[in-house]
């Protein structure tokens, strides 16, 4: 039986739940030297921390008995950084202490405080909550700390990052001095060390095995894409791996809303999680993921903290995380409980060096490749459909089904019926996206210095239907061409602004890539047409003088002589006819 040193009710519950043996952190907190001591524990996400501190405080709560006394003033307090994590902890501790007669109450922001007050008045053994709401109940006298035997700070580093230091200190100062204090954190930065020193007594430091290293059950993929094709790459990544549940991270709430809307429009069953949603909306989204009505969750880092989704097989970093800790925390949502998981980073080729440094800082090794193409997705679909079709054929069929099958075969070939079955299976699948070819080659080793250009000969000329009469301006033309054609500034050579059009030169080795991408305008620039062109009669102008980076060898040396024209005075808020400078 696992955890034999525990009281019989908890040991029996863990055995029923399939806990054959404790994880590294669970075994560490039950070592003999931890008995009665404050603990400072660092362990990565997904290592079984909730059960770890649940069993660690069992001896304090049970005090030698096999069942807890009738619920009255709380015996233990668990503080978590987010509502989702607090509610998840409540569920975990409820089943863990069910046979011991435990009652667990949650107090979190976004819920009715009066309902929580009534629940506390009816008595509880363990209270779980977020810092702000717990402090409010303490100050109002709804939560009585006099009987507290243990206090747990879960994901303490995240609470400090979110600015909860004052709330945590206020909570800890109200607790009885003889209580145990357990701090669980993925990392132990200076702030956590200072908090432990101030509010713990002779704390035992425990570093669970594997701290700071890649989870052994997570496969890391870095998928190269052209700039501006992040959303299409997310669609293809979801289609290629076809997970039961996937989590997609964006850095802002606006990005979450935009990507979520695009995925739903393309036929994915997706939900969104961000800070602007109400608790009811968040709970509805989480329930949809858990019961299978939704398969994709698009979320910000803050909203996704503490999420534990069933069968989460894929994490997609639509926006690159800002630091290695965030990368590890995001990825740790998958690869849990012995299941395999994939963490995929969507990397525009102009940000490859940033992604490489991020992976290096996190001590992770990723497999680099282009994002899945439409052809690869169709091939993978074929494999899945073949397996699904064989499974259907091997099932039992009654006589009515066989009779209908014979009627369908009358006058039709088996190949026609098989093709109809494939079409039927393919119909509900979202269509894969056509992606521009991305540069998957390793980035230059000296990111601060661009290599000298090589001799590539005369460039390829294009034209677009924007000229001086529509206020064409080099300040926005060059960035616009780079964004529209998925190329860098170094690929654009001479630019000549004429009265009704603009002609420009593209490096020969990038011309085909530029033409393919430029033929797919976005909603904001669909009115600007780009097509191949002959060189202008007097192609003496060159790149805009403000453009950064070395000039390509095929560009003429003289600077362009743009037509002298006064800067237009736009009346009121009227915008110029040209598009805004695109932002990558």
Last residue of a domain, one of 339, 356, 373: 373
Tokens of 197: 């020193």
Residues 139 and 275 in one domain: no
For position 129, what pLDDT does the model report?
95
pLDDT digits (tens, 9 = 90+) for 407-466: 777 777 777 777 777 777 777 788 888 876 655 555 444 443 333 333 334 789 999 998
For position 132, what pLDDT does the model report?
93
Last residue of a domain, one of 186, 207, 228: 207
More confident residue, 293 or 76: 76
In order, the DSSP letters of 512-542 are HHHHHHHTS--TTSTT--EEE-PPPTT----
Tell me which H or E stretch contains 156.
helix 156-161
pLDDT digits (tens, 9 = 90+) for 232-250: 999 999 999 999 999 999 9
For position 560, what pLDDT does the model report?
39
Contacts of 429 (CB under 8 A, 6+ apart): 239, 267, 381
Least confident of 78-82, 261-265, 471-475, 492-496: 471-475
**Spacing of C-alpha 440 from chain mean position:** 22
Report which listed range, 21-25, 399-403, 494-498, is most confident. 494-498
Last residue of a domain, one of 373, 390, 410: 373
Integer distance in angstroms from the first to the last C-alpha of the chain? 56
For position 458, what pLDDT does the model report?
74
Maximum Cα–Cα distance across the chain: 95
Nearest to residue 222, comparing CAs of 352, 335, 357, 377? 352
3-state secondary structure at position 69? coil
Tokens of 336: 């849990």
48 backbone φψ class: left, alpha, beta (φ>0; ψ -120 to 50): left
3-state secondary structure at position 138? helix
For position 46, what pLDDT does the model report?
63
Contact yes or no for 25/185 (Cβ under 8 A) = no
288: pLDDT strictly greater than 50? yes
pLDDT digits (tens, 9 = 90+) for 517-568: 888 887 667 788 999 988 776 544 444 433 434 444 444 433 333 333 333 3
Average pLDDT over residues 273-297: 83
Residues 163 and 258 in one domain: no
CA dihedral (552, 554, 558, 560) positive or negative: negative
Per DSSP, 124 falls in state B
Residues 191 and 323 in one domain: no
Residues 63 and 200 in one domain: yes
Nearest to residue 72, comparing CAs of 13, 132, 121, 19? 121
For position 7, what pLDDT does the model report?
80
pLDDT digits (tens, 9 = 90+) for 93-134: 999 999 999 999 999 988 889 999 999 999 999 999 999 999
Residues 23 and 169 in one domain: yes
Residues 67 and 140 in one domain: yes
Residue 419 located in a structural domain: no
Q: What is the span of the domain harbouring residue 237?
A: 218-373
Average pLDDT over residues 55-82: 92
Residue 431 located in a structural domain: no
**For the whole prediction, is pTM greater than 0.85?**
no
Residue 495 located in a structural domain: yes
Residues 194 and 267 in one domain: no
Residue 393 located in a structural domain: no
User: 393: pLDDT confidence band, cut at 50, 70 and 90?
Assistant: low
68: pLDDT strictly greater than 90? yes
For position 455, what pLDDT does the model report?
35
For position 438, what pLDDT does the model report?
58
For position 268, what pLDDT does the model report?
93
Residues 111 and 182 in one domain: yes
Number of domains observed in the structure of the chain: 3
- Percent of the chain residues topping a pLDDT of 70: 82
| Average per-residue pLDDT for the chain | 80
- Percent of the chain residues topping a pLDDT of 90: 33
Integer Cα distance of 246 and 220 in angstroms: 15
Residues 472 and 562 in one domain: yes
Per DSSP, 291 falls in state T
Residue 136 located in a structural domain: yes
Integer Cα distance of 17 and 25 in angstroms: 18
């Amino acid at each position: 039986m696992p955890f034999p040193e525990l009281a019989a009710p908890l040991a029996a519950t863990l055995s029923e739940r399939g806990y054959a043996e404790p994880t590294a952190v669970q075994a560490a907190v039950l070592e003999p030297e931890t008995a009665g001591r404050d603990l400072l524990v660092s362990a990565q996400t997904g290592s079984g921390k909730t059960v770890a501190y649940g069993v660690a405080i069992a001896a304090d709560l049970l005090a030698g008995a096999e069942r807890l006394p009738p619920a009255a003033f709380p015996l233990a307090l668990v503080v978590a950084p987010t509502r989702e994590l607090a509610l998840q902890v409540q569920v975990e501790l409820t089943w863990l202490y069910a046979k011991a007669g435990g009652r667990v109450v949650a107090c979190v922001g976004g819920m009715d405080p009066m309902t929580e007050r009534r629940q506390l008045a009816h008595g509880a053994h363990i209270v779980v909550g977020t810092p702000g709401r717990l402090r409010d109940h303490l100050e109002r006298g709804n939560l009585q700390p006099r009987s507290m035997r243990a206090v747990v700070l879960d994901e303490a580093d995240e609470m400090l990052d979110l600015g909860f230091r004052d709330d945590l200190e206020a909570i800890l100062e109200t607790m009885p001095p003889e209580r145990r204090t357990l701090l669980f954190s993925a990392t132990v930065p200076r702030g956590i060390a200072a908090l432990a020193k101030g509010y713990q007594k002779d704390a035992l430091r425990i570093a669970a095995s594997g701290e700071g290293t890649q989870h052994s059950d997570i496969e890391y993929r870095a998928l190269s894409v052209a700039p501006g094709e992040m959303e299409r790459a997310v669609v293809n990544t979801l289609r290629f791996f076809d997970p039961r549940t996937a989590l997609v991270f964006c850095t802002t709430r606006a990005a979450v809303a935009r990507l979520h809307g695009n995925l739903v429009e393309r036929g994915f069953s997706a939900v969104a999680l961000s800070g602007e949603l109400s608790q009811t909306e968040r709970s509805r989204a989480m329930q949809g993921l858990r019961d299978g009505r939704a398969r994709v969750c698009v979320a910000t880092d803050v909203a996704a903290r503490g999420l534990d989704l069933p069968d989460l097989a894929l994490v997609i970093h639509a926006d690159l995380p800002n630091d290695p800790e965030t990368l590890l925390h995001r990825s740790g949502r998958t690869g849990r409980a012995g299941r395999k998981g994939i963490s995929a980073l969507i990397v525009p080729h102009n940000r490859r060096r940033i992604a490489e440094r991020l992976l290096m800082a996190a001590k992770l090794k990723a497999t680099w490749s282009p994002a899945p193409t439409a052809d690869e997705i169709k091939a993978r679909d074929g494999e899945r459909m073949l397996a699904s079709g064989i499974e259907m054929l091997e099932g039992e069929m009654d006589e009515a089904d066989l009779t209908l099958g014979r009627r369908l075969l009358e006058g039709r070939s088996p190949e026609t019926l098989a093709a109809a079955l494939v079409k039927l299976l393919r119909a509900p699948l979202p269509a894969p996206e056509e992606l521009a070819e991305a540069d998957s080659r390793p980035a230059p080793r000296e990111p601060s210095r661009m290599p000298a250009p090589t001799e590539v000969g005369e460039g390829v000329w294009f034209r677009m239907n924007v000229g001086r009469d529509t206020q064409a301006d080099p300040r926005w033309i060059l960035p616009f061409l780079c964004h529209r054609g998925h190329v860098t500034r170094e690929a654009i050579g001479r630019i000549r602004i004429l009265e009704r059009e603009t002609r420009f030169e593209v490096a020969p080795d990038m011309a085909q890539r530029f033409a393919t991408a430029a033929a797919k305008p976005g909603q904001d620039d669909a009115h600007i047409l780009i097509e191949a062109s002959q060189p202008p009669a007097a192609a003496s102008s060159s790149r805009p003088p403000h453009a950064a980076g070395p000039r390509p060898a095929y560009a003429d040396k003289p600077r362009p002589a743009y037509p002298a024209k006064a800067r237009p005075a736009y009346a009121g808020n009227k915008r110029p006819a040209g598009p805004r400078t695109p932002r990558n």
